[in-house]
Structure 1
Amino acid sequence: MAKFAVTLNKDIFNIIVSINRSLMSLPKPGRKFWYIFPVVILALLASWYYFSNSGKSGPAVSTKVLYGDFSINVTTSGELEAKNSENILGPSGLREVRIWQVQISDIIPEGTLVDSGQYVATLDRTEITNRMKDLESELEKLESQFVKTKLDTSIDMRAAREELINLKYALEERQITVEQSIYEPPATQRQARIELEKAQRAYQQAEKNYKLRSDKNNANMQEVAASYTQAQRRLEQIREVLSGFTVTAPKPGMLIYKRNWDGSKMGIGSTMSSWDNVVATLPNLNEMISKTYVNEIDISKVKTGQKVQIGVDAFPDRKYTGEVTEVANIGEQMRNSNAKVFEVRIRVNEFDSILRPAMTTKNTIITSVIPDVLYLPIECVHTSDSISFVYKTSGQVRQQVKTGVTNENQIIITEGLKEGEEVYLSPPENAIEWKLVGL
C-alpha cells in the first residue's frame, strides 16, 4: 500500500509539472488562470491522503476495574503563609503630626534573615522634614512673642506700681494737710477733708486697677507661654516620630513583605498608611497554613475538619497533610474575572524548614469517601442514546454499565463490571461493529 502511494504521488507530481508546462506555452490570455489547476490537483491529493489514513488507529490502551475507597475531592491552588507572625511597624504617631501616608524609600530584600534591632527599611522623610521646618519657624515666632509679651508686661506693671506709689504719697500729703487745717477756718478744714477723701478713693481705685492689670498680664503671659509650650511639645513629638522613619526588626526572623488588599507586595516605592503602619512581617515558620479560594460551585462540599493533601510546586517530591480550619461565609469577586470564590484556610500538619510564605500549593480537599466500590477512569465510559457502556478487552463487546458519582478523574461503576476486568480507555479499531451487551 505504501509503495502504491509513493508511485501515485510521483505520477501526480509528473502530471502537475506537465500541465504547468502546457499552460505556460499557451498565449497570454489563456495563462490567466494557470495556477487554478495545480491547486485543484493538490486538494484532491490531500483528500486522498486523509481518507486513506482515516481508518488507521494506534494500539488501544486498557485499564483494570479497581475496587476500594472512592474519594470525592476539591482541588485548588493556594499560597503558604505563617499562621502567626509579628509585624514590623513604622512610626506610630503619624496621625498626631498630621501625616497620613508615607512612602517606603528603601527596604531590605524579602526573605532576608534579620536579628533583633537590625535595619529593615527607611521611610521617605520629605513631608515630615518640611512639617518640622514649618514648626521650627512657628516656634521661633512664638518665642519672640513670648519675650515681647514678657517685656511689655514688666514695663506695664512697673508703671502701675509707680502710679500706686505716687498716689500713696499724695494720700499722705492730704492727710498731713487735714491735720494742719485744725487751726484754719471751717471751710478750709472742709476743703482739706474733701481732698483727702478724693486721694483715698484714687488710691483705692489704683490698687484695684493694679490687681486687675496684674491678672490680665498674667493671663496674657499664660496664653503666650501655653502656645510656646505646645509648639515645643509638637516639635519634640515630630522629632520622635522622625526617629521612627528608620525601621528596625523587633526580634530575629525572616523578613516577609506585607501584602496589600489587592495582593501586591509593599516594596520600595509602596505607600504605608498611618492607619496601618505595618512595613513588613516576621512570620513564625513553625506553623504554616495554606490560604486558597474555592469556587462557589464547590464550596458547599467544603467543611471545617476535612482532611487535605498538600503539595508544594517548588518541591514536587514533598507531600504534606492538612486540615480545613476556616471556611468563609461570604464570597468575593476574583480580580479580572466574574467568578465568585470563598476563602478557605488549611492548616499544614507537618513542619518542614524548606517551607516559606508565598510558596504556591496544590490542595486536594477530601470532601467525602465512599467505601468499597468499583471505579474506572472517566475516559473509559462512553455514551450513546443515553446508554453508558465500556469497551471490554475480552470478547470484543461493548458492555453496558450503570454509573454513580464522579470525582475529577474517576467514576463509580454500580452495575455491569467486576473487579479486575479490563476495559479500553478509548474506542479501539472497528469498535463501532462490536456487539452491545445489556445489563
Structure 2
Amino acid sequence: MKRRWIFIVIIGVILAAILIYSTTRKDTTVMVTAKAVKGQFDVIVSTTGELAALNSVDIRGPEGLREARIHNVKIVDLIPEGTVVGAGDYVASLDKTDATNQLQNMEDQIEKDEATVLQTQLDTTMSLRDYRNQIKDLEYAVEERQIILDQSQYEPPATIRSAEMNLDKAKRAYEQAVYNYALKKEQAEASMVKAEINLKRQYQRYNGLINVLEKFTVYAPQSGMVIYKKEWDGAKRKVGSQISFWDPVVATLPDLTKMIAKTYVNEIDISKVNSGQPVLIGVDAFPGRQYTGLVTEVANVGEQLPSSDAKVFEVIVLLNETDTTLRPSMTTVTQIKTNTYSDVVYVPLEAVHSSDSLSYVFPVGKNIRQIVDLGEANENYIIVNEGVDPDEEFYMTIPEDAESREFKGWDIYEKVKARRLEEERIKREEMEQVQREQEERLRLMREQGGGPNGMQPGMMTPDANMRIRSGVRPSGGGQAPSIRNK
C-alpha cells in the first residue's frame, strides 16, 4: 500500500513538471520583428573572385621551338612563386633530354649528308672524266676519217663515197658525245647543288637547335615578383608542367601598381551588371581593408567553371586604389552596385512570404496578412512598392495563427496581376515582331534565290537529287535515270 502511494506521488510530480515546462516555454516564446525603412536602397550583386595585375610581362621559354620541331618541353626547376627577381636573374630550367637526343640525330644526319656530298662529287668527277675521254677518242676518230678521205681522192667513186659516209658518222658521233657531255655536266652540277643544299639545311637546323638549347635556362626579362602562369583549367604551371611552342610562358612579372579583380557572375544576375558600375572590394587576406573600383569588362559569352555546374560570366573590375601589399591570386569579395533607388520603402527578405502568386507580410498588432507589391532586392532586403508604411513593424517568422489571418490588400494584388499581364503582353508582342521579321527575311531570301526554297531555277532540292541518285522514278513520270560509275 505504501509503495503504491509512492508511485502515485512520483507520477504526479512528473506530470506537474511537464505542465510547468510547457506553460513556461509557451509564455517565453519571442517573435522576432523588424521595421520597414524608408531611404536609399542599393541593389548589390555579391560575388567572389581573385586579384590579378592589369599589366604584366611574360617570362617566356626559348623562342624557336617550332622551327626546332620541339612541341612540348617540361619544366624541371622553377623558383618559388612570389620571389622578387632582378633583370637577368635565374627563373627556371627546362628539360633538355628530347632536344639533346634530337641534336645527336642531327649530328648523325650531318655526317651522312657530308658523305653524300663527297660521294656525289667523286661520282661526278669520274663520270665526267669518262665522258671527256670518250670525246677525245671520237675527236681522233674524226681526224682519222678525214685523213682516209683525203687519201682516197684518186680512188674509185664508191671508195670515196664510203670514206665520206664514215667521216660523217664520226662527226655525228663526236657532236652527240659533246652534247651528252654538256647534259651530264648539268646533271652532275644539279646533284651537287641538291646534296649541298640538304647539308646546308641540316647545319641550319643544327645551329638553330643549339641556339634554342642555350635558352633552356630561363632568366627574368626585367625586375619584379614572379607569379606562376595559369593553365586554361586554372592550375598553375610548376615543376613537371609543360610549355609548348604556341604558349611558351613559364611565369609572369605583374605590375602591382594597377590591380584588377576577376570575378564570375551567375547567369541570373549578369543582366544587371554593366561597365562603369561602382564596386566595393574586400580581400580575405586583409579583413579590415576595403577598396573601390569600377566594372571595366563584362563577358558576352558564359562559361562553366570546373568546380561548378552553373554557367557564369567573367567580370573585370579595376581597383581605384594602389596598394603594393596586394598580390595576384588573393581571394576577393566584390559587391557590384548595379542600381540605386532613393526614398523607397524596404523590408528584410525574411519578413516577406509567398503563397502561389501572392506576396504578403505579417504586421505586428494586426491579425491580417498584408498583400504587398515588391520591387528589386539585394542580399538582405527587398523594396516594397505598395502595402507597407515606413517604420511599420512586421514579424520575421510565420506566426502560429497565420492560416487564420485574412488577406488584406486585394486591390494591390489586382494591380500587380494587371502589370504582369501587361508585361507578358508586351513580351509576347516583341516575340511576335521578331518572328515576323524573321519570316520577312526568309521571304526576301526566297525571292532573291529565284524559287520558293531560295534556289535558282533549274536547281534540284537535296531530296530530289537523292531520289535521282538512288534510281527512284521522278514524281512527274518518265524513266528513272541510270548512274554510271566513272
User: TM-score normalised by the shorter chain: which range applies?
Assistant: 0.7 to 0.9
Deviations 1:33-80 (A, max 9, x none): xxxxxxxxxx99997897476347598887776443111111000111
CA deviations 1:210-247 (Å, max 9, x no partner) are 11211221122122222222222222222233233222
**TM-score, with length taken from structure 1:** 0.77
Task: Name whichever of 162-171 and 52-61 sits farther off.
Answer: 52-61
Greater RCO structure (CA 8 Å; 6+ sep)? 1
| CA RMSD across the alignment | 3.7
Counting only pairs closer than 5 Å after superposition, residues 241-260 of structure 1 correspond to structure 2 as: 241-260=212-231
Q: Secondary structure at the match of 2:221?
A: coil
Alpha-carbon distance change, 53 to 246 in structure 1, aligned in 2, over 3 angstroms: farther
8 Å CA contact 2:49, 2:263 repeated in 1: yes
Aligned counterpart for 1:211 among listed residues 176, 182, 187: 182
Which residue pairs with 1:388 in the alignment?
361
* Aligned pair partner of 1:94 in 57, 65, 69: 65
Count of residue pairs brought into register by the alignment: 393
CA contact (8 A) 2:36 2:388 kept: no
Q: Distance in 2 between matches of 1:268 and 1:169?
A: 79
Shift of 1:141: 0.8
Task: Write out aligned runs for 1:334-413 (5 A).
Answer: 334-379=305-350, 387-391=360-364, 404-405=374-375, 406-412=377-383
Give the match for residue 142 of structure 2: 171
The equivalent position to 1:330 in structure 2, one of 286, 289, 301, is: 301
Counterpart of 1:111 in structure 2 is 82
One-letter amino acid of the structure 2 residue matched with residue 349 of structure 1? N
Residue of structure 2 equivalent to 1:305 = 276
After superposition, give the CA deviation of every residue in 1:266-291 in whole Å (9 maximum; x if it has no partner).
11111223222222222222222111
Give, in whole Å, the separation in 2 of the partners of 1:338 and 1:70: 32
Counterpart of 1:221 in structure 2 is 192
Question: Measured at CA, do residues 49 and 232 of structure 1 come closer, stay the same or move farther in structure 2, by a change above 3 Å?
Answer: farther
Aligned counterpart, 2:259: 288
SS at match of 1:317: strand
SS in 1 for 2:236: coil
Conserved 8 A contact 1:114-1:252: yes
1:265 aligns with 2:236: yes
Q: Structure 1: which 5+ residue stretches go unaligned?
A: 1-10, 16-42
Q: 1:129 to 1:162 in 2, by over 3 A?
A: same
Give SS of 2:233's match.
coil
The aligned residue for residue 127 of structure 1 is 98
Q: 1:431 to 1:196 in 2, by over 3 A?
A: closer
Measured in 1, the distance between the counterparts of 2:77 and 2:16 equals 68
1:152/1:111 CA distance change after superposition, 3 Å: same
The secondary structure found in structure 2 opposite 1:54 is: helix
1:358 Cα shift?
0.7
| CA positional deviation for 1:422 | 7.8
Using the alignment, how far apart are the partners of 1:220 and 1:131 within structure 2? 27
Residue of structure 2 equivalent to 1:157: 128
User: Which stretches in structure 2 are left out of the alignment for 5+ residues?
Assistant: 1-5, 410-486
Contact 2:361 2:395 in 1 (8 A): no
Q: Provide the C-alpha distance between the structure 2 equivalents of 1:305 and 1:53, rounded to a whole number of angstroms.
A: 57
2:359, 2:289 → 1: CA distance? Answer: 43
Rate the CA distance shift 1:205–1:289 in 2: closer, same or farther, 3 A. Answer: same
TM-score (norm 2): 0.70
Conservation of the 8 A alpha-carbon contact between 2:352 and 2:360: no
**Identity over aligned pairs, percent:** 48
Confirm or deny: 8 A CA contact 2:61 2:218 kept in the other structure: yes
Decide whether the 8 Å contact of 1:107 with 1:121 is kept in 2.
Answer: yes
For residues 299-358 of structure 1, the C-alpha deviation after alignment (integer angstroms, 9 at most, x for no partner) is 122122211111111111111111111222222223243322111111111111112111
Instruction: Indicate how the Cα distance of structure 1 residues 57 and 87 shifts in structure 2: closer, same or farther if over 3 A, else same.
Output: farther
What is residue 196 of structure 1 aligned with on the other side?
167
- Aligned amino acid, residue 96 of structure 1: E
Tell me the secondary structure at the aligned position of residue 239 of structure 2: coil
Tell me how far 1:107 sits from its aligned partner.
1.6
Q: Is the 2:264–2:315 contact (alpha carbons within 8 Å) kept by the matching residues of 1?
A: yes
- Compared with structure 1, are the counterparts of its residues 50 and 112 closer, same or farther at alpha carbon in structure 2 (3 Å cutoff)? farther
- Greater alpha carbon shift after TM alignment, 257-266 vs 396-405: 396-405
What is the deviation of 1:293?
0.9
Question: Does the 8 A contact of 1:403 with 1:411 survive in 2?
Answer: no
What amino acid is aligned across from residue 111 of structure 1 in structure 2? G
Q: Residue 160 and residue 196 in structure 1: after superposition, are their counterparts in 2 closer, same or farther (change >3 A)?
A: same
CA contact (8 A) 2:351 2:361 kept: no
| Deviation digits for residues 237-264 of structure 1 (CA, Å, limit 9, x no counterpart) | 2223323322222222222211111111
* Alpha-carbon distance between aligned partners in 2 of 1:209 and 1:387, rounded to the nearest angstrom: 108
Structure-2 separation of matches of 1:234 and 1:370: 68
Does the alignment pair 1:148 with 2:122? no
CA distance in 1, matches of 2:382, 2:363: 12
CA gap of 1:270–1:57, structure 2 versus 1, over 3 A, is: farther
Q: Which amino acid aligns with 1:132?
A: L
Alpha-carbon distance between aligned partners in 1 of 2:343 and 2:57, rounded to the nearest angstrom: 48
